[in-house]
Amino acid sequence: MGLRLLIAGGVAAGASCAARARRLSEEAEIVVFERTDYPSFSNCGMPYHLGGVIAERQKITGGNVKMLRERFRIDVRTGVEVTRIDRGAKRIEVRDVRTGRFSWEAYDALVLAPGAKPIRLPVPGIDLPGVHTLRHVADMDAIAAHLARGPRRAVVVGGGFIGLEMVENLARRGLAVALVEKLPQVMPPLDPEMLVRVHGHLRAKGIALHLGDGLAAIERQGNGLRVVTGSGQSIEGDLVLLSAGVRPDIELAQSAGLEIGPRGGIRVDDQMRTSDPHIWAAGDAVEVRDIVTGEPALLALAGPANRQGRLAAEAIFGQPSRFRGVQGTSVVGVFDLTVAMTGASERRLRAAGIPCKAAHLHTADHAGYYPGAQAMHLKLIFDPNRGTVLGAQAVGGRGVDKRIDVIAMAMQMGATVHDLAEAELAYAPQYGAAKDPVNMAGMVGVAHLRGESPLLGWDEIEEADVILDVRTPAEVEGGRVPGSVNIPLDALRERLGELPRGQRIAVHCAAGVRSHAATRLLRLRGFDAHNLTGGFRSYEDAEEAGRVAARVRRT
């Protein structure tokens, strides 16, 4: 007889753990306890089912329970909640949700995969009918039922992944949608200047954006609701969705005296073992190591949860596998835009005191001479000394997810900007460019590292004595940086006498290509020139995001 493995929680991490465990042992008795009726449901599809994109509810709820039961002989018990862990006796107390009856189950190994809970902001009115969160199938069903009653206006509180996906899908259902976010930007893991285009796109799609304004209260208003913000604004809606993030569900672990980490997740080692040698934990409830900052991190994403579940099973059956940590690779669709990232943001690196430099590119998914190229805005963050890639963010259309995945893979392997510059990627004109955006970003980083074309951010411009705009006069007429001097690149060689020697010259063009050429030219002629990252486009982004130095602020 094999060991008795109990798994508390049957969604991503729990189900993956169970399936992997069976592949490692035919003898083990494997029991999964899932408090809802839907183990292994397709969490990430719920917003799209509500929007009508995924028509059949069964595609969300179907899961692979039958397979787990029949093929893998896993005892999946739904509607059963784990209520207590008796670590000394190695047993858990479980409660049948329907009958309310308690019983005990003995284990040799226990895996906790309780997931995370939506953060319920402590404001008045949070429990009013018509106020929803979206985490479980029951939440989805409640929203679907509400939508069936024909609400006309929705207010989404929180602009993270779920918030943005629900904004899109509620709009798809024909509702007028307002989005309230207490930060000045949606998608908090990204740096602010990268979201400027996303905000514009949301507004262009008719979404009423209330940024930098938190939820203060929800009140009844006629037959509907009214969301009151911290600034005192009042936004009417028939349906309110709270998507203010999630926090690890650690009640069970905490009451059993298991160690909790500094970020509030269950503490585990790199084999997913908790502070109790017979208990493992996996998924959204655990705290993991961020491979970029080295700091403990919480990350509620399906991919890492699945991997952690598998790893816990491997550890239990004596395999030496280790969890390498997380880098936060993620993607979200926002109407016609794709927003993706991997690694750390510049903001987080600065907060952690890690030196970093950023390159901004305004490019396209494929060769400009082939029709249908879609704009892509790419930010690459790297170690200014060793060139190690620390993070990347991209906003655009087609091909955004590809570049982030390529850079994510590179980061995993410890790549530097040199490696990105040299990457041999697939090129045909409809798929990319002979110099792919990934190559270009790497080359900008290499030019910085070698001192060929040192980068300056728009928030670092106080350090410059002169701001040199090398665009054409026609371009300058359309908008310029306050205090800048204009000498078009093609006239630069002839007009070098107009520039001061021994002073720091910050050079910009429209997007960073001509400014690189100008920076090279000036440095070869003995000027202390620096390349302003991302050019005027990045200036405008940074200005709107409040990230330009005071001297160049237009307003």
Nearest-5° Cα angle at 364, 359 to 366: 125
Nearest CB to its own copies, comparing residues 51 and 212: 51
Q: Figure out which of the listed residues 125, 160, 283, 304 binds its own copies, where binding follows CB under 8 A.
A: 304
- Residue 469 makes contact with its own copies by CB under 8 A: no
Q: Figure out which of the listed residues 144, 233, 434, 553 binds its own copies, where binding follows CB under 8 A.
A: 434
Long-range contacts of the stretch 214-217 (C-beta < 8 A, 24+): 214/180, 214/182, 215/121, 215/123, 215/157, 215/180, 215/182, 215/242, 215/244, 216/123, 217/123, 217/124, 217/125
Smallest gap from Cβ 471 to its own copies, in A, equals 13
Total of chain residues touching its own copies, rule CB under 8 A: 85
- Residue 138 makes contact with its own copies by CB under 8 A: no
Long-range contacts of the stretch 42-49 (C-beta < 8 A, 24+): 43/11, 43/12, 43/302, 44/302, 46/134, 46/137, 46/139, 46/140, 47/134, 47/162, 47/165, 47/166, 47/168, 47/169, 48/165, 48/169, 49/140, 49/144
Smallest gap from Cβ 31 to its own copies, in A, equals 18
Q: Figure out which of the listed residues 96, 251, 269, 422 binds its own copies, where binding follows CB under 8 A.
A: 422
Q: Figure out which of the listed residues 307, 348, 471, 480 binds its own copies, where binding follows CB under 8 A.
A: 307
- Residue 429 makes contact with its own copies by CB under 8 A: yes
Phi-psi region of 488 (alpha: psi -120 to 50; beta: other; left: phi over 0): beta
Stretch that binds its own copies, among 80-88, 305-313, 454-462, 533-541 (CB under 8 A): 305-313
Q: Figure out which of the listed residues 208, 423, 485, 499 binds its own copies, where binding follows CB under 8 A.
A: 423
Residues between 484 and 503 with contacts to its own copies, criterion CB under 8 A: 489-490, 493
Residues between 36 and 65 with contacts to its own copies, criterion CB under 8 A: 42, 44-45, 48, 53-55, 59-60, 62
- Residue 338 makes contact with its own copies by CB under 8 A: yes
- Residue 301 makes contact with its own copies by CB under 8 A: yes
- Residue 415 makes contact with its own copies by CB under 8 A: yes
Spell out a b/e string for 308-325, using b for 16 or more CB atoms within 10 Å of the CB, else e: bbbbbbbbbbeeeeebeb
Residues between 435 and 454 with contacts to its own copies, criterion CB under 8 A: 435-436, 438-439, 452
Smallest gap from Cβ 41 to its own copies, in A, equals 10
- Asked whether 162 and 246 are in contact (CB, 8 A), the reply is no
- Residue 462 makes contact with its own copies by CB under 8 A: no
H or E stretch at 249: none
In three-state form (DSSP H/G/I as H, E/B as E, the rest C), the secondary structure along 7-64 is EECCCHHHHHHHHHHHHHCCCCEEEEEECCCCCCCCHHHHHHHHCCCCCCCHHHHCCC
Nearest CB to its own copies, comparing residues 70 and 127: 70
- Residue 406 makes contact with its own copies by CB under 8 A: yes
| R_g of the chain computed on alpha carbons | 26
- Asked whether 350 and 391 are in contact (CB, 8 A), the reply is no
Nearest CB to its own copies, comparing residues 140 and 326: 326
Catalytic residue among 17, 44, 356, 509: 44
Known active-site residue 44:
yes
Strand partners, 289: 296
Residues between 161 and 200 with contacts to its own copies, criterion CB under 8 A: 161, 165
Residues between 371 and 400 with contacts to its own copies, criterion CB under 8 A: 371
Say how far apart CA 549 and CA 542 lie, in whole Å.
9
Smallest gap from Cβ 296 to its own copies, in A, equals 17
Q: Figure out which of the listed residues 354, 431, 475, 476 binds its own copies, where binding follows CB under 8 A.
A: 431
Provide the residue type at 381 as one letter: I
- Residue 296 makes contact with its own copies by CB under 8 A: no
- Residue 335 makes contact with its own copies by CB under 8 A: no
Nearest CB to its own copies, comparing residues 261 and 488: 488
Strand partners, 105: 92
Q: Figure out which of the listed residues 98, 101, 428, 462 binds its own copies, where binding follows CB under 8 A.
A: 428
Residues between 506 and 525 with contacts to its own copies, criterion CB under 8 A: 514, 516-517, 520-521, 524-525
What single-letter DSSP state applies at residue 504? E
| CA-wise closest residue to 109 among 40, 41, 24, 39 | 24
Catalytic residue ranges: 44
